[in-house]
Amino acid sequence: MTNTGEEEAPALPGRRVVIKGFGIAAGGLAAGAAGSAAVVTGLPAETPASAMAIPSAGYWRPARGHVDVTWSVDTSQKLVALTFDDGPMPNWTPMVHDILDTEKVKATFFMVGERLLANARLVHGRMARHEAGNHTWQHKDLSLLTHDQAYRQLHRAHAAIKQITGKEARRLRPPFGQLGGTTLSAAGQLGYDVTIWSIKMLEKTYEKNPPQLVDYIVNNTRPGTIVLAHDTGKPDRLVALKNLVPMIRGLRAKGFEFVTVSELIEAAARPEPAKRP
- Residues with active-site annotation: 85, 230
- The string of DSSP letters for 202-245 reads -TTTTTT-HHHHHHHHHHH--TTEEEEEESSSSGGGHHHHTTHH
Query: Counting beta carbons within 10 angstroms of the beta carbon of residue 246, is it exposed (0 to 12), middle (13 to 18) or buried (19 or more)?
Result: middle
Neighbours of 234 (CB within 10 A): 10
Asked if 213 and 243 touch (Cβ cutoff 8 Å), the reply is yes
Dist CA 171 CA 143 (whole Å): 17
Q: What is the 8-class DSSP label of residue 34?
A: T
Three-state SS string over 6-17 comes to CCCCCCCCCCCC
Encoded amino acid at 193, one letter: D
Determine contact, residues 65/191, Cβ cutoff 8 Å. Answer: no
Contacts of 36 (CB under 8 A, 6+ apart): 3, 5, 8, 55, 56, 58, 60, 147, 148
DSSP assignment string, 154-180: HHHHHHHHHHHHS----EE--GGG---
